[in-house]
Amino acid sequence: MAREYLKKATLTSKSGASDVTATVQGILDEIEAGGDAAALDYAKKFDKYEGTILLTDEEIAAAAALVPEKLKADIRFAHDNVRRFAEAQKSTMTDVEVEIVPGLIAGQKVIPVDAAGCYVPGGRYSHIASAIMTVTTAKVAGCKHITACSPPRPDVGVAPAIVYAAHVCGADKIMAMGGVQGVAAMAFGLFGLPKANILVGPGNQFVAEAKRTLFGRVGIDMIAGPTDSLILADSTADPLIVATDLVGQAEHGYNSPVWLVTDDRALAEEVMRLVPTLIDDLPDVNRENATAAWRDYAEVILCPDREEMAATSDDYAPEHLTVQAQDLDWWLNRLTCYGSLFLGEETTVAFGDKASGTNHVLPTSGAATYTGGLSVHKYMKIVTWQRATREGSKPVAEATARISRLEGMEGHARTADVRLAKYFPGENFDLSADG
């Protein structure tokens, strides 16, 4: 039996997407040419905000005072978890030195970028966790300057909990500016900020397009589309928990795909029965998003066995992948394409999104086939170096000269020739292309 679609998506995450490229390019060009004043004009237009752009210490303290103590404790708990995991990741990256051939030493150094720009969404939802995920990892990496940027609300400013989280996690500056103008301000070094070497964090289609356009001039974490989630479940899974987890991810947005892949028809049918009821019980905005996402983008796929389930999952390469099935170690060893993996009923995507320690900035739209998510590694440059004794350079110079001449790069060859002549006068070397 091949895969059977008990529910098939009528749209894809790219369906109906407007072309924002020209709009974003125009805004970036105007801000680069006009500097601070142009960015402020766009902030006034789009953010409807004319307050302080770079928050002062007093404003940060005032925002923190508005955050309930229990929420502060939760933010610190999540920060500690993310920090510990990031520190463990960083420990896997080390400087290396190795003698390639006698007398020739090569090595690598791991160096953090100087300045990171962290975008924290603050529109429909205040993404407190995004401040934790992006700023903490940059801090652990050792970036010298970290800017946290988040859209302000008219006459209010950045959500106090975002301000508190960014501050606790180590942001050097907190900027009240959203959208393309916020991304541009960090990339171009406006308002006295250093130019960001890397831009990270989720955002809407305009933020994503701005990062894509600027990539090359600056580094980025990834080009993100709508969030997506897949659940692998067998007959041992609890249908209510599976359905709740699907709904929990569908509320992200109207075009956020959720997929269920199973080898148990009864489970699939029960989940499909439960989901609409669970969606109807959500608050208004959440219900609207989840209804559209489930109706237009969700899929339920029935497979003959777990191997086909795993193959289906790898084909989809989901951002979030949950396994609620027997033999979790088998799935851990078999699955290869996902942003982050959640093994067993006892964990769920929301844990990773908010507080468990792994990062929630993850590859979407199938990008998990070639990349992982945001981590401390994204802020680190792995650079190489070498040095040699004269004897150690001898065989390398000979090989370099001959290869270069075979390629037709005579200038390259002569940089080897001149060293051989200096270090080993009187010796005859056959350095021709056919030597």
DSSP secondary structure letter of residue 86: H
In angstroms, how far is CA 207 from the centroid of its own chain?
Answer: 13
* 3-class SS string, 252-279: CCCCCCEEEEECCHHHHHHHHHHHHHHH
Report the amino acid identity of residue 424: F
Beta strand pairing call for 229-233 and 258-262:
parallel
Residues 148, 120 contacting (CB under 8 angstroms) = yes
The residue annotated as part of the active site, out of 79, 127, 145, 320, is: 320
Active site residue 50: no
For residue 105, the cross-strand partners are 99, 387
Q: Is 47 helix (H, G, I), strand (E, B) or coil?
A: helix
Nearest to 222 by CA among 300, 119, 333: 119
Rg (CA), the chain: 26
User: Could you give the CA distance from residue 349 to residue 141 in angstroms, rounded to a whole number?
Assistant: 25
* List of residues 6+ apart from 114 with CB closer than 8 A: 143, 144, 145, 194, 197
DSSP secondary structure letter of residue 284: H
Beta strand pairing call for 173-176 and 115-119:
unpaired
Beta strand pairing call for 380-388 and 104-112:
antiparallel
Which residue in this structure is represented by tokens 């007093």? 58
Residue 223 CB neighbour total at 10 angstroms: 14
Tokens of 381: 């440059």
The residue annotated as part of the active site, out of 319, 360, 410, 412, is: 319
221 phi, psi to nearest 5 deg: -70, -50
Q: Is 390 helix (H, G, I), strand (E, B) or coil?
A: helix
Active site residue 319: yes
Which residues are the active-site residues?
A: 319-320
